[in-house]
Amino acid sequence: MKQQVLTDNQIDNCLMKRLHYIFFSLIVLLTGCEKNEPIVFKKEDAALQLWFGTTNQVLDSVSFNFSYMTSDTDSVVFNARILGKPLDHDIEFELSPEGDADLVYFALPKFIIKAGEVEVKYPIYFEKPDNYQEFKTAEGVILFKLKPSPMFKEGNKEMSALKISLKNSLAKPDNWDSALFPYSSLNTYFGAYSNRKFEFMIETLGVSYFNVFLSTNAAQNTDPKAISSIFANYYASICRTTLAEYNATHTNPMIDEDTQIPVTF
């Protein structure tokens, strides 16, 4: 095959075409870069999300049972997170109660997100007066919504309020049969639920509600109501020992009145 020899005009035309192509490519590239610039949230566009659970596992509601309280005061912990850039100054937010708020004795601390923070945890405190009779026959509900503020707009609708179901009688804890990661369900350590068994656990252990953290490393646990799996096994062994002592000193073994099944651990 013979080699084709290009004239000067043909060479100039080829060079011009290449220059046009390079110039066009640069325009497309620069335009694309402008479109793909990162989105920057303005401070005045900040929103706040509220939820129960963990950072990665969101609960839209929780239960609070006054009958489980072993002291005059107990609490429910919630999370709050800023959407957008961290603020360069401390900011306070408030919650507004709705629902059965008039039937409940509760206290709210001052909620502050410090400069540079984007996520915080805070408690909502509940008090139980002597002879408190509310919610024994029917559940109540209290809803805590973010109070309007010039700083924070409402976040996602599904994460804009804290719903708490209120009870005041013995009932299966929400985390008995299943629990969100990083927690383990209580039935893993204490077996099938019964009212008598749970009542006996409260009498024996002196605690009424707790989470079991999957990790055995207590240092990793930041939940004040959680114990390690090792401690859960220790609780179960205390219950077994105390139950054996009860059965040894009574004519009949302990049974659940509802099911007539002996209590076991």
The more confident residue out of 36 and 132 is 132
Mean per-residue pLDDT for 90-100?
94
Quick check: bond before 182 cis, omega within 30?
A: yes
Distance CA(125)–CA(122), nearest Å, equals 10
Is the pLDDT assigned to residue 10 strictly greater than 60? no
The gap from C-alpha 239 to its chain's centroid, in whole angstroms, comes to 29
Nearest to 74 by CA among 176, 177, 168: 168
How confident is the model over 218-265, as pLDDT tens digits?
545 566 778 889 999 999 999 999 999 999 999 999 999 888 999 999
Is the pLDDT assigned to residue 8 strictly greater than 80? no
Determine phi and psi for 157, rounding to 5 degrees: -60, -40
Beta bridge partners of 61: 163
Mean per-residue pLDDT for 21-32?
45
Confidence of residue 37 (pLDDT cuts 50, 70, 90): very low
How confident is the model over 97-156, as pLDDT tens digits?
999 999 999 999 999 999 999 999 999 999 999 999 999 999 999 999 988 787 776 555
Domain 44-169 has CATH 2.60.120.380: no
Q: What is the reported pLDDT for 113?
A: 93
Confidence of residue 22 (pLDDT cuts 50, 70, 90): very low
Question: Across the chain, what does the average pLDDT equal?
Answer: 81
Question: Which own/partner contact pairs does 153-157 have at CB distance under 8 Å and 24+ positions apart?
Answer: 153/45, 153/46, 153/47, 153/48, 154/47, 154/48, 155/47, 155/48, 155/49, 155/50, 155/83, 156/49
Residue boundaries of the structural domains of the chain: 44-169, 170-265
CB 122 within 8 A of CB 77: yes
Q: What is the reported pLDDT for 197?
A: 96
| Greatest mean pLDDT range, 47-56, 73-82, 223-232, 240-249 | 240-249
